[in-house]
Amino acid sequence: MARIKPQALLNQSKKKKGPSRISISTIIVCNLVVAVVILSLVTTYRHWSQRSRNTIEHETQSQRFQDTNAASEHKSYDLPGYADINTSKGLITVELFKEASPEAVDKFLDLCQKDHFKGMEFHRVIKNYLVQAGHSQSSIPVEEWTAKGKLRGRLHTSPKHEAFMLGTPKTKGSNKDFDLLITTAPIPDLNDQLLVFGRVLKGEDVVQEIEEVDTDEHYQPKSPIGIISITLKQKI
């Protein structure tokens, strides 16, 4: 057998152990793959991060809305729901429609706290129609009240406008224009002028007694009849 020379063995060993060269195209492709993977991870992170923020904001807004509603309901629940109207003819107890007419009830309660109705006289009494108390003459002409009264028998009656309902004229004036009216008969034809915010629970006989007083040709009582005070109550 022929021997291989040491120099030849050395040359063969160098050829086996020598590293193979990587082409430029391979390097570019690998870099592109790495860049795509990183871009995908960044996009995914941004998407889930934005989604998480949106979820948190939505939950926060929902909680604020619920808190606002709860506070509003709590405020409505705490407001007095009844009032005792003490007149020179006797006591009239009314229920306030806190949910059906919240703005009118709020204004009524505020004026009660300011003693707005103390000493207020009934300046208009129309038999089988209404009694009205106020600090000034009503802006609605008497003829318009009485003309509507003649038509009431021909119109359909809504429960909102039955007898012994508490209301106030629809006006855009100051607090002085906030009169109190109590109907003494069904009046379905006053939707445009009368804002109902309560009803009489006790004291219908007192209302009828006020209704029976003598009046002049302008439907003004000949003898003074007024409101002495109003007491607000949570329960009756």
Tens place of pLDDT per residue across the chain (236 aa): 455 555 555 555 555 555 556 778 888 888 888 888 888 888 888 888 787 777 777 666 666 666 555 445 445 557 899 999 999 999 999 999 999 899 999 999 999 999 999 999 999 999 988 999 987 665 455 555 545 444 444 434 444 568 999 999 887 566 667 899 999 988 766 667 788 999 999 999 999 999 999 999 989 999 999 999 999 999 87
- Distance separating the N- and C-terminal Cα atoms of the chain: 128
Strand partners of residue 121: 134, 226
Domains and CATH numbers, the chain: 82-148+158-233 (2.40.100.10)
Look up the pTM and report it.
Answer: 0.62
Both structure tokens of 91: 């006591």
